[in-house]
Structure 1
Amino acid sequence: MLGFTASRVQISTYLCGVALFSISFLVFLNSSISFVITQRIGQDHDVGDAVGTLGFADELVALVACPAWGLLSDRVGVRSVAVMGYAIIGLSLCVLVQAKNVYPQLLLGRLLFSLGATASATMVTAILPAMTGIKAVHDPRSPIRRAGRRSHALAPSISSELTITPARFRSQSPAMDGAHNRDTVASTSHLAGLVGMFTGCGALVALLVFLPLPTRFQKAGETPAASVADAFYVVGAVAIVVAVGCFFGLRNLPAEEGKGLHRLVHADPHKTSETTSTSRQALSYPRLFLASVQLGFKSRNIGLGYLGGFVARASSVAISLFIPLFTNTYFLRTGDCLVDPSNPSDIKNACPRAYKLAAALTGASQLVALLCAPLFGYLSGRYPKFNLPLLVAAAAGIVGYSAFGSLTSPDPKSKDGTGAVFLIVALLGISQIGAIVCSLALLARGIHNDEGPEESPSVEDSSIGTDHASAGATPPQSPLLTPAGEDAPLLIDHNNYPNHSDCSTPRPSGSRSHAHLKGSIAGTYSLLGGFGILLLTKAGGALFDISGPSAPFYMMASFNAVLLVVGTGVAAWEVIQSRRKREHDLR
Structure 2
Amino acid sequence: MASQRALFTATRTQTLTYLLAVCPFSIAFLVYINSSISFVVTELIGLHDGEGDAVGTLGFADELLALAACPLWGVLSDRIGVRHVCVAGYGIIAIALVVFVQAKNVYPQLLLGRLLFSIGGSAVSTMVTAVLPAITGGSSEQEMPETTNSQTGSNRDDSDSGLNTPSSRLAGFVGMCAGCGALVSLVIFLPLPAQFQKFGLSPSEAIQCSYYIVAAVALLVSVLCLVGLRNLPGEEEKTWNSLWSTQDEDDDPTCAVGGKSRLPYLNQFGAAIVLGFRHSDLLIGYIGGFVARASSVGISLFIPLFVNHYYRALGFCNDSHSEGPGASAGDIKQSCPDAYKLAAILTGVSQLVALIAAPVFGYLSDKSRRRHLPLLFACLAGVVGYTTFPLLPTPKFNGEGGSPRVFAVMGLIGLSQIGAIVCSLAVLSNGILSVRLNQDLPKQAFSAEIEASRPTDETDEAADRQPLLARSGKQKQPQLSHLKGSIAGVYSLFGGAGILLLTKLGGLLFDVLSSGAPFYIMAGFNGTLLLAGVIGGLFSRSKKIYSSEVA
Same fold (TM over 0.5): yes
Offset of residue 463 of structure 1: 2.0
Q: 1:50-449 to 2 correspondence within 5 Å?
A: 50-133=54-137, 154=141, 182=162, 184-185=164-165, 187-267=166-246, 274-275=251-252, 282-340=262-320, 346-449=331-434
When normalised by structure 2's length, the TM-score is 0.89
Q: Supply the AA of the counterpart residue of 1:467.
A: A
Deviation larger for 433-442 or 274-283: 274-283
Distance (whole Å) between structure 2 residues aligned to residue 305 and residue 272 of structure 1 = 28
Instruction: Say if 1:294 and 1:462, in contact at 8 Å, map to a contact too.
Output: no
Instruction: Say if 2:171 and 2:422, in contact at 8 Å, map to a contact too.
Output: yes
Number of the residue aligned with 1:161: none
**What are the Cα deviations for residues 478-498 of structure 1, in whole angstroms up to 9, with x where unaligned?**
78xxxxxxxxxxxxx833138
Offset of residue 506 of structure 1: 7.1
Q: Supply the AA of the counterpart residue of 2:341.
A: K
Indicate how the Cα distance of structure 1 residues 478 and 9 shifts in structure 2: closer, same or farther if over 3 A, else same: farther
Distance (whole Å) between structure 1 residues aligned to residue 80 and residue 53 of structure 2 = 39
Instruction: Say if 1:380 and 1:438, in contact at 8 Å, map to a contact too.
Output: yes
Distance (whole Å) between structure 1 residues aligned to residue 462 and residue 235 of structure 2 = 24
Instruction: Say if 2:437 and 2:446, in contact at 8 Å, map to a contact too.
Output: no
**What are the Cα deviations for residues 59-113 of structure 1, in whole angstroms up to 9, with x where unaligned?**
1111110001001111111111010000000111111111111111111111101
**32, 37, 53: which one pairs with 1:28?**
32
Offset of residue 425 of structure 1: 0.8
Offset of residue 326 of structure 1: 0.9
Q: Alignment partner of 2:515: what SS?
A: coil
Instruction: Say if 2:145 and 2:475, in contact at 8 Å, map to a contact too.
Output: no
Indicate how the Cα distance of structure 1 residues 181 and 80 shifts in structure 2: closer, same or farther if over 3 A, else same: farther
Number of the residue aligned with 1:165: none
Q: Alignment partner of 1:511: what SS?
A: strand
Q: Alignment partner of 1:131: what SS?
A: helix
Offset of residue 342 of structure 1: 9.2
How many aligned positions are there?
A: 530
Number of the residue aligned with 1:532: 498
Instruction: Say if 2:255 and 2:262, in contact at 8 Å, map to a contact too.
Output: yes
Distance (whole Å) between structure 2 residues aligned to residue 366 and residue 281 of structure 1 = 38
Offset of residue 554 of structure 1: 1.1
Distance (whole Å) between structure 2 residues aligned to residue 569 and residue 272 of structure 1 = 35
Q: Alignment partner of 2:393: what SS?
A: coil
Offset of residue 184 of structure 1: 2.7
Indicate how the Cα distance of structure 1 residues 197 and 273 shifts in structure 2: closer, same or farther if over 3 A, else same: closer
Distance (whole Å) between structure 2 residues aligned to residue 207 and residue 281 of structure 1 = 39
Q: Pick the structure with greater CA Rg.
A: 1
Q: Supply the AA of the counterpart residue of 1:9.
A: T
Offset of residue 347 of structure 1: 2.0
**What are the Cα deviations for residues 319-356 of structure 1, in whole angstroms up to 9, with x where unaligned?**
11111111111111111112156998632122111110
Q: Supply the AA of the counterpart residue of 1:238.
A: V
The root-mean-square deviation of aligned C-alpha atoms, in Å, is 2.9
Offset of residue 221 of structure 1: 1.9
**What are the Cα deviations for residues 12-71 of structure 1, in whole angstroms up to 9, with x where unaligned?**
000011001001011111111122222222233222221111111101111110001001
Instruction: Say if 2:250 and 2:448, in contact at 8 Å, map to a contact too.
Output: no
Q: Supply the AA of the counterpart residue of 2:447.
A: T
Q: Which runs of 5+ in 2 are unaligned?
A: 150-155
Distance (whole Å) between structure 2 residues aligned to residue 301 and residue 341 of structure 1 = 45
Number of the residue aligned with 1:523: 489
Q: Supply the AA of the counterpart residue of 1:561.
A: G
Instruction: Say if 1:28 and 1:206, in contact at 8 Å, map to a contact too.
Output: yes
Number of the residue aligned with 1:559: 525
Distance (whole Å) between structure 2 residues aligned to residue 401 and residue 86 of structure 1 = 34
Instruction: Say if 1:155 and 1:477, in contact at 8 Å, map to a contact too.
Output: no
**What are the Cα deviations for residues 244-277 of structure 1, in whole angstroms up to 9, with x where unaligned?**
1101110111111321111112246xx9993299
Distance (whole Å) between structure 1 residues aligned to residue 301 and residue 523 of structure 2 = 16
Q: Alignment partner of 1:442: what SS?
A: helix
When normalised by structure 1's length, the TM-score is 0.84
Q: Alignment partner of 1:379: what SS?
A: helix
Number of the residue aligned with 2:153: none
Indicate how the Cα distance of structure 1 residues 131 and 336 shifts in structure 2: closer, same or farther if over 3 A, else same: same
Distance (whole Å) between structure 1 residues aligned to residue 322 and residue 7 of structure 2 = 59
The higher-RCO structure (CA 8 Å, 6+ apart) is 2
Q: Supply the AA of the counterpart residue of 2:283.
A: G
Q: Alignment partner of 2:194: what SS?
A: helix
Q: Supply the AA of the counterpart residue of 1:331.
A: Y
Could you tell me the percent identity over the aligned residues? 50
Number of the residue aligned with 1:137: none
Q: Alignment partner of 2:230: what SS?
A: coil
Offset of residue 357 of structure 1: 0.5
Distance (whole Å) between structure 2 residues aligned to residue 194 and residue 6 of structure 1 = 16
Indicate how the Cα distance of structure 1 residues 273 and 526 shifts in structure 2: closer, same or farther if over 3 A, else same: closer
Offset of residue 302 of structure 1: 0.5
Q: Alignment partner of 2:392: what SS?
A: coil
Instruction: Say if 1:494 and 1:500, in contact at 8 Å, map to a contact too.
Output: no
Distance (whole Å) between structure 2 residues aligned to residue 337 and residue 94 of structure 1 = 37
Indicate how the Cα distance of structure 1 residues 70 and 499 shifts in structure 2: closer, same or farther if over 3 A, else same: farther
Distance (whole Å) between structure 1 residues aligned to residue 169 and residue 483 of structure 2 = 22
Distance (whole Å) between structure 2 residues aligned to residue 383 and residue 441 of structure 1 = 11
Distance (whole Å) between structure 2 residues aligned to residue 36 and residue 80 of structure 1 = 31
Distance (whole Å) between structure 2 residues aligned to residue 578 and residue 273 of structure 1 = 34
Number of the residue aligned with 2:152: none
Offset of residue 546 of structure 1: 2.1
Offset of residue 220 of structure 1: 1.4
Q: 1:447-466 to 2 correspondence within 5 Å?
A: 447-449=432-434, 456-458=439-441, 461-464=442-445, 466=447
Distance (whole Å) between structure 2 residues aligned to residue 510 and residue 299 of structure 1 = 20
Number of the residue aligned with 1:541: 507
